[in-house]
Each structure stands twice: as C-alpha cells, then as structure tokens.
Structure 1
Amino acid sequence: MQTLSPPTTTIPTPIKTPTRPAHRLTATPLPPSQLTVRCAASPQNGAVGGTRADWQSTCAILSSKVFTSEQNDNTTGSKPSSSRDEITTVNGHRSLDLVPIENLPKPLTTDLSPAPMHGAQLRVAYQGVPGAYSEAAAGKAYPGCEAIPCDQFEVAFQAVELWIADRAVLPVENSLGGSIHRNYDLLLRHRLHIVGEVQLPVHHCLLALPGVRKEYLTRVISHPQALAQCEHTLTKLGLNVTREAFDDTAGAAEYVATNRLRDTAAIASARAAELYGLQVLADGIQDDSGNVTRFVMLAREPIIPRTDRPFKTSIVFATQDEGGGKGTASLFKVLSAFAFRNISLTKIESRPHRNRPIRIVDDANVGTAKHFEYMFYVDFEASMAEPRAQNALAEVQEFTSFLRVLGSYPMDMTPWSLSRSDDH
C-alpha cells in the first residue's frame, strides 16, 4: 500500500512589501511535488460499498485514463524518464492514452471532513488578501478555519500540494463574468481533487479614505471583473473617473489605505472597508443583484462518493483525433452518454489544448486548414457512486483520447440571500 508523504521542499520565507501582508504566501519557483495516493477501505454510512474491493471496483472508472502526477521541472532542464506510461506532456502532465487499470494505484481515500491529522486548526489557502471574497468563501466552506492568503492562484494549489495548507478554496465561475479560465487550466496542471463547492453572493461597495467625497475622486481601482460588474452603477453615480484594473478587490482597498490616496476609490467588500479603515461611499453598487461566484474546495485526495445527498461530478476530456471532420460527432456521442441516462449537465466549456493548440487538416479542395484542439470541462449532477454515472463514463471513454475525473463531491444546496452579512 502506498502512503502519502509530504515533499521535503524548503518553503521560502514570504517577503514583505508595502502593499502586502508579510504572512501572505507569494509566488516562488518550486519543484513539482511527486504525489501518490493511498488506498483506504473503511466503510462509512451512505458511502458506496463496505469493503475495499467494492470501492476499488466503483472507482475503476476514475483510474482508467489518469495521467501521471509527475511533472517536468523545466527550470532545471530535467528529462522525462523512459517509463512506458509517459507520453507527451499536456499542461504539465504526461500520458494521454489509455492506461490499463491494473497498472495504476487505486484513487481511494477516506472522507476528508474531519480535522487534519496534525490536530491543528484546518488551514485553507485562498487567493487575495484579507477581506477578499475568496476569504469569505473559505470561511463559509470551512467555518473556523485558518485562512492563508496567497498572491496567485497557483500558489494556493502549491500550498496544498506541499502541505502548507490542508485545503484550497478558489473561484471557478461568476454568474455575470463567466468562468475563471486560469483556475480551470490549473485544475488540469495540478493533481488536486475537488471535494466540495460553495456559492457566495457578491456585494460590492465603493470605498475611500475617511473624509473623501465622491466628487473628489479621479480614479477607481479594483479587479477587472468587479469593475465590469459595477460599470453602469458607476456611470449613474456621475463619477467622471478613470477605471484601473488591480489584482483583487481587497488588494485594491489595501492599496488605497496604505498609500493614503485621497483621489482614488476601490471597489471591494464591506469587510475590506473595516479591515483597512476605509469609509463606504456607496453600498451595493453591483449592476445585478443576482451576482454570485462559485468556488470549489480542493484537497490532496478525493472523497468517497455517496448517494445519501445530491452530488456533482466534474470531468475534463479530449475527443478522439478523428479525420474527416468527425470531431463534432465524437462530442455528440460523449454528450449522448449522459442524455441517454437522464444525467443533467450543469456546465460544459471548451479550453484550447495548451500543448497541442493547432491541428492541421489536409483538404484537397481548400488546401490546408488549421483548427484548434480543445479540452472540454463538464459538470454533471450525479455521484460516482451511482451505476448510471459509472456506465456513462465507461461509454465516454470510447470516444475520448483523454478523460480525467476532477472530483465527485456534494452540491452546495444552501439557500442564499443578498445581504451585507454575506461579506463577513
């Protein structure tokens, strides 16, 4: 039985800057972690199967086209080994072809809801600074956790991989701005698993230094999506200001407060105003009151799927490279595998294949045409403990060159309302 052990990577001390807290994790080139998975067969109430063999059989689908967790360290110029399971790299990983199930470790785990093994407070990484919406999402997902701010999304992934954090809570889509593509790419690049989701209403405020009036402002700074989500309201307020993009909403508030900028306002949460001593010039300035961001909870190992509550499963796949314009037919066949079993899709999105972005197709009539190759991200409402989900993915494998289950996890069924309390 393989065991999971943390890498021995030395963790660099974060460098304090005038506009960032000293304890915030910053981006530092780190060697890739080599993670393995361990088998766990302890039965749980509501979980599928009561024995190790039952659960291994249930998870066979998850193993059939998983690529290796090892990554090339491009900075050191290391060469890939000659293992038969290693093929071309895609988004930092190898092996896109079918790998026999018996040659792979079973992706089994225990339920991850209890406190971490070290007995300390649960540590949850998020992108941004204190007061960010991601921090609020981390607190909603894991009440009472120790939130660890990271300056980049990838640093949050690395924090979990290197055991600096136990979980990460990161945004994947917004009801107005759409998907956060960077995190979808990172889900494919890193070997973390989605173990839950949380939806957070977004309540924007216009913040400035105490005593500053709106007519004194010459610019407004915030995250690009926040600026776009408040565009019409800012116009209605009669503000003749320039709008400048910033890394994140709370970071913009911190920047205004730290540099004592009396001509600049920030769009952020009410909690950010409290943390950085700013006043709220305008409350609830988002153009749409139904502005909600969906976050996913990430862990080093997956959770055992269950059938006693609604589950969602996230996958990513690439259709078979078929000539003669059959790529569309393959996608149709993949989607039909879910339709025939009455499995509802809640999301489908394509992303260009990073390491194989262009496919050349020869056509005698029109010459040489270039087509993008895509990875498809799909969320569907079913648990991997259900036979219909297992059978659907078994059929999907027949029409894909690559398939990976990102996670099978409980759906966020908590009702929400737009209120100031959502920011805290």
Structure 2
Amino acid sequence: MQSHCQQHIFLLPLVMGVPGAYSEAAALKAYPKCETVPCDHFEAAFKAVELWLADKAVLPIENSVGGSIHRNYDLLLRHRLHIVGEVQLVVNLNHCLLGLPGVRKKELKRVLSHPQALDQCELFLNELGVTRVTADDPAHAAQIVVCEGVRETGAIASTRAAEIYGLDVLAEGIQDDSDNVTRFLILAREPIIPGTTRPHKTSIVFSLDEGPGILFKALAVFALRGINLSKIESRPQRRRPLRVVDDSNRGSATYFDYLFHIDFEASMAEPRAQYALGHLQEFARFLRVLGCYPMDTLP
C-alpha cells in the first residue's frame, strides 16, 4: 500500500514549472515521495486544485533578494484555496551557469533565466559581459538552450536542471547573495486543523477605513497580546483602487485603497490569536483568514 505522501500530486507553477524548477524542489522538501506535475502559469495551479485535478499547489510567495511575488498575493484573494503549509528553500549554490556540452564560459554571449534569477546574479553577469534574456523560469531557460542548440547561449538554473537536460555546469553559486532564500506556500481545497504542539503561522488579509492611526490600531491588536508579526504586505485593491473623499469646503481628494496581508506567529487554536482577530474585526472593513499552518525552518 502506498503511503499518504505518495498519494499527493502537486502542481508546480513557477510560471513554466517544468522539471528542475525550484518549485519542484520545494514540493519534494515538504513531501519527498510526492508525484509532481508541472503547470504553465500561477492561476492554472489554483484552478487545477479547485477542480480536483491535483491535491495541492506549491507557489513561491517571496524571495530574500527579489522580494514579494505580488501576483500570488492577488491570486490568494481571488481564489478560495487555503494555505496549509510553507517551505523555505535555500537557493545557495543552486544558481548555476549552464551551457551546451563542451562550451566554455567565455564563449557565451547571451544568458537566459527568470528575471529574478538574472537580478540575483547581476554582479556575475556584469563581469561576464553577456546579454540577459528573460525566460518563464530557470528550468525553462535550460530547456530552451537545449532546444535551440546555440553554443553562445547559456542559462542560469539549478544543477538538477543541468542533469535533466544534459547541460554542462560552467559555474556554481553565482548569485550575489549567498543567503538567498525563497519561501513557498502549499495550498489545498480544505484548511488543516491548527494545533499547538509545534509553532504555527497564520496568514490573513484585511482592509481598513480611512482615518488617523487606523493602521496603528490594527497592528496593536497583535502587540497587545504578544504576537509577533513576521510579514506585512500592502496591495492596492484591484476592484476599488482609488477612494474619493468629498468635502464641500476643500473639494475632493483621491487615495489608494489598500488590502493588508499579514503573517503572524500564532495558531488559531490559541485564545490570544482568536481574541486578536476578534478585536481586529471591530474596525476592519474586510477580514479573511487565508490559512493557519506549521512554520517551516531552514535546515
């Protein structure tokens, strides 16, 4: 009989999540025996899980060098999936320069990769003096190099991508920052039951009415209960990006209307987390819990 982990099927949507993408490595870190299925873009992964075509989806949400992936913050609100886990993946020594077999580094004139990967290797690429070309993701860049078969074209991807597509590793660990970490979220149709036996994290999104000190009041509900905030992200509301305030004496003013995404380090099974959200609901115009899940730690 197969174990529970072997029954999980994950969609890996680091845009063109082909085999060798970092999303695949994140899924295998969380569930070493899972079966992984690539997906061609982020929203397709959300829809596939909603339609029961896969059990879970693994999506990158932030990188220690490139910052937040805003598209996925927007999709979390548009779809009704729940965050059931997180994975922190160290990229160090994984950003490699790949080329066709027998090609030397100095022969390259153009290098392909995902825009964030290119940015993360800026110093190396400046010294190499090559043209940078964007691809949907690092593994897809490696695939393009093989398909085109042009000796002057290389890719930035992982050593696993090199093994899969038969490319040579011309240089390893080429990122500017050796402490390059990407955080991924694991999404599912149903939430998990939060516990208290290990550290948990809760992700929420909310909006507030305009007013002096209103954001301070929102954040204070956590500070008052000793709850640490590990992430704060603001996104303009797509359906209502602007707010117009009319005043008969002063005319009108236009403000951006924001949604606030917050991760806090507490389980929804803890009374302090329940009281904090109850307090926040008193002045939040909108509030949604995206998920409560065990925290992942770096190895």
Return the TM-score normalized by structure 1: 0.67
Render the CA deviation track for 1:23-59: whole Å, top value 9, x for unaligned: xxxxxxxxxxxxxxxxxxxxxxxxxxxxxxxxxxxxx
Matched, 1:380 2:264: yes
Which structure has the larger Rg? 1
Q: Displacement of 1:308 after TM fit?
A: 0.7
Work out the CA distance in 2 between the residues paired with 1:363 and 1:254.
59
Partner of 2:123: 232
Matched, 1:211 2:140: no
Tell me, yes or no, if the aligned pair for 1:330 and 1:400 is still in contact at 8 Å: no
1:335 to 219, 231, 244: 219
Matched, 1:144 2:33: yes
Q: Displacement of 1:366 after TM fit?
A: 5.5
- Aligned to 1:398, the other structure's residue is in SS state coil
Matched, 1:251 2:140: yes
Partner of 1:76: none
Work out the CA distance in 1 between the residues paired with 2:57 and 2:46.
7
Partner of 1:390: 274
Partner of 2:68: 179
Q: Displacement of 1:166 after TM fit?
A: 0.4
Higher relative contact order (CA 8 A, sep 6+): 2
Matched, 1:198 2:108: no
Give the letter aligned to residue 218 of structure 1: K
1:89-128 alignment runs, 5 A limit: 115=4, 121-127=7-13, 128=17
- Aligned to 2:20, the other structure's residue is in SS state coil
- Aligned to 2:44, the other structure's residue is in SS state helix
Work out the CA distance in 2 between the residues paired with 1:368 and 1:267.
50
Work out the CA distance in 2 between the residues paired with 1:246 and 1:368.
44
Give the letter aligned to residue 303 of structure 1: I
Give the letter aligned to residue 293 of structure 2: Y
Higher relative strand content:
2
Render the CA deviation track for 1:44-89: whole Å, top value 9, x for unaligned: xxxxxxxxxxxxxxxxxxxxxxxxxxxxxxxxxxxxxxxxxxxxxx
- Aligned to 2:281, the other structure's residue is in SS state helix
- Aligned to 1:342, the other structure's residue is in SS state coil
Work out the CA distance in 1 between the residues paired with 2:170 and 2:251.
60
Work out the CA distance in 1 between the residues paired with 2:68 and 2:260.
13
Work out the CA distance in 2 between the residues paired with 1:311 and 1:408.
7
Work out the CA distance in 2 between the residues paired with 1:379 and 1:346.
6
Q: Displacement of 1:365 after TM fit?
A: 6.5
Work out the CA distance in 2 between the residues paired with 1:371 and 1:243.
38
CA RMSD of aligned residues (A): 1.4
1:131 to 20, 28, 37: 20
- Aligned to 2:49, the other structure's residue is in SS state helix
Tell me, yes or no, if the aligned pair for 1:171 and 1:296 is still in contact at 8 Å: yes
- Aligned to 2:282, the other structure's residue is in SS state helix
Partner of 1:313: 202
- Aligned to 2:260, the other structure's residue is in SS state strand
Give the letter aligned to residue 10 of structure 2: V
Q: Displacement of 1:240 after TM fit?
A: 2.0
Runs of 5+ in structure 1 lacking a partner? Answer: 1-113, 417-424
1:294 to 160, 183, 186: 183
Give the letter aligned to residue 113 of structure 2: S
Render the CA deviation track for 1:345-390: whole Å, top value 9, x for unaligned: 0000100100000111234675322211010000000000000000
Work out the CA distance in 1 between the residues paired with 2:247 and 2:135.
46
Work out the CA distance in 1 between the residues paired with 2:45 and 2:290.
17
Render the CA deviation track for 1:293-323: whole Å, top value 9, x for unaligned: 0001111000011011100000000012x4x
Work out the CA distance in 1 between the residues paired with 2:283 and 2:252.
25
- Aligned to 1:129, the other structure's residue is in SS state coil
1:405 to 276, 279, 289: 289
